[in-house]
């Protein structure tokens, strides 16, 4: 399906489908987009879609600061300079200074040239307004409910308008979940809490960042929960013997039949695994210590899991 073809859900709410879904809300003076996609190429398709319905861009509301969700900002803002950009705290800093993404993925060091690609390093964008991580906000005379959905990113939010929940990357569509095997996240514990929050909600419809729109999300949310819990169990088993993060990553990838062949994939999988470590650590299922100049992780002593 062409990404510039707008799919309407209600009279005023819809989305541009694609590898990254981009939300659309009809504001008082123009279109409000929820995220902007990966790059200029995507943004040009979105502009074509907005031009087709004679709608200027009023605002872009960011759910989180990964390059595939704000990479279209720069082009769209060059076309509509008066459009306003909203983003959650901390996420907004990365949107304004996108080099921070390959920096944190590269353990804080100067990023390798190989990490300076459009998937990790988007073009910088201004952010005009801090979005609350919870509560209600009015944008172009349209009321949004903001719900915290951390885990995939630190201050990721979902946005609800007309009882349609734009749920960002809090869960992945079934096909995307199968493809990635080790989903990217920064905190598996928070990810699971966000999934339970969505499972207990009762909105009219749900649109993830990657996957199809649905009015019945229970099955896909449950699949995501089972995926994370299954990975928890695998990681605990691997850590029955103390290992470094890198040693554990090699074994996890072997189990999942993942072949890492470039720096981009490596830093994404390494960060994801650390996010699972953080979740297991919060739940007191693993521990760490330092020995022989190594940071060793192991299954928590005395826990019958």
If you average pLDDT over every residue of the chain, what do you get? 97
Q: What average pLDDT does range 162-174 have in this prediction? A: 98
**Cα separation of 93 and 186, whole Å?**
17
Percent pLDDT > 90 in the chain is 96
Alpha-helical regions (H) of the chain: 40-52, 67-70, 73-79, 91-96, 100-105, 174-180, 188-199, 218-238, 245-256, 263-282
**C-alpha closest to that of 107 among 268, 284, 305:** 268
The CATH number assigned to the domain with range 7-137 reads: 3.60.15.10
pTM assigned to the model = 0.96
Sheet of strand 135-139, all strands in order from the earlier edge strand to the far edge: 135-139, 142-148, 157-161, 164-166, 205-207
Residue 208 has pLDDT above 60, yes or no: yes
Token pair 């979005």 is found at 131
Residue, of 2 and 74, whose pLDDT is higher: 74
42 touches 34 (CB < 8 A): no
pLDDT of the residue at 158: 99
Instruction: Give the DSSP per-residue string, 230-296.
Output: HHHHHHHHHTTS-B-HHHHHHHHHHHHT----SHHHHHHHHHHHHHHHHHHHHTTSEEEEEETTEEE
pLDDT of the residue at 4: 67
DSSP state of 113: G
Residue 299 has pLDDT above 60, yes or no: yes
DSSP state of 214: B
Radius of gyration for the alpha carbons in the chain, expressed in angstroms and rounded: 20
Residue 1 has pLDDT above 50, yes or no: no
CA dist 96 to 89, 155, 185, 202, 241, Å? 11, 15, 21, 34, 42
Q: What average pLDDT does range 64-92 have in this prediction? A: 99
pLDDT of the residue at 301: 77
Instruction: Report residue 3's pLDDT band, with 50, 70 and 90 as the boundaries.
Output: low
**C-alpha closest to that of 272 among 186, 191, 149:** 186
Q: How many CB atoms lie within 10 A of CB 137?
A: 16
Q: What average pLDDT does range 160-182 have in this prediction? A: 97
Q: What tens digit of pLDDT does each residue of 223-267 get? A: 999 999 999 999 999 999 999 999 999 999 999 999 999 999 999
Percent pLDDT > 70 in the chain is 97
Give phi and psi for 106, each to the nearest 5: -95, 25
> Which three-class secondary structure state does DSSP give residue 171?
coil
Q: What tens digit of pLDDT does each residue of 119-146 get? A: 999 999 999 999 999 999 999 999 999 9
Domain map of the chain by residue range? 7-137, 237-299
């Amino acid at each position: 399906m062409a990404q510039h073809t707008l799919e309407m859900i209600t009279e005023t709410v819809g989305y541009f489908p694609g590898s990254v879904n981009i939300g659309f809300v009809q504001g008082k003076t123009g279109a409000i987009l929820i995220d902007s996609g990966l790059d200029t190429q995507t943004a040009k398709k979105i502009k074509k879609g907005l031009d087709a319905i004679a709608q200027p861009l009023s605002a872009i509301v960011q759910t989180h600061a990964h390059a595939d969700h704000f990479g279209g900002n720069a082009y769209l803002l060059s076309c509509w300079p008066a459009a306003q950009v909203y983003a959650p705290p901390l996420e907004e800093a990365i949107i304004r200074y996108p080099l921070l993404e390959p920096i944190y993925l590269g353990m804080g060091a100067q990023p390798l040239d190989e990490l300076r690609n459009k998937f990790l390093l988007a073009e910088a964008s201004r952010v005009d307004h801090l979005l609350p991580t919870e509560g209600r906000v009015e944008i172009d005379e349209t009321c949004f409910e903001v719900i915290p959905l951390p885990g995939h990113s630190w201050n990721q939010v979902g946005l609800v308008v007309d009882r349609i929940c734009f749920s960002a990357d809090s869960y992945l569509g079934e096909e995307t979940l199968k493809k990635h095997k080790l989903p990217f996240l920064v905190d598996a514990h928070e990810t699971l809490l966000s999934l339970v929050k969505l499972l207990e909600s009762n909105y009219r419809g749900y649109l993830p960042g990657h996957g199809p729109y649905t009015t019945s999300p229970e099955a896909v949310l449950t699949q995501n929960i089972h995926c994370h819990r299954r990975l928890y169990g695998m990681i605990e088993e691997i850590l029955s013997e103390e290992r470094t993060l890198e040693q554990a990553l090699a074994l996890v990838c072997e189990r999942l039949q993942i072949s890492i062949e470039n720096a981009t994939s490596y830093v994404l999988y390494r960060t994801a695994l650390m996010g699972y470590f953080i979740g297991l650590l919060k739940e007191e299922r693993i521990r760490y210590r330092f020995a022989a100049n190594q940071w060793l992780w192991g299954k928590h002593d005395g826990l019958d899991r």
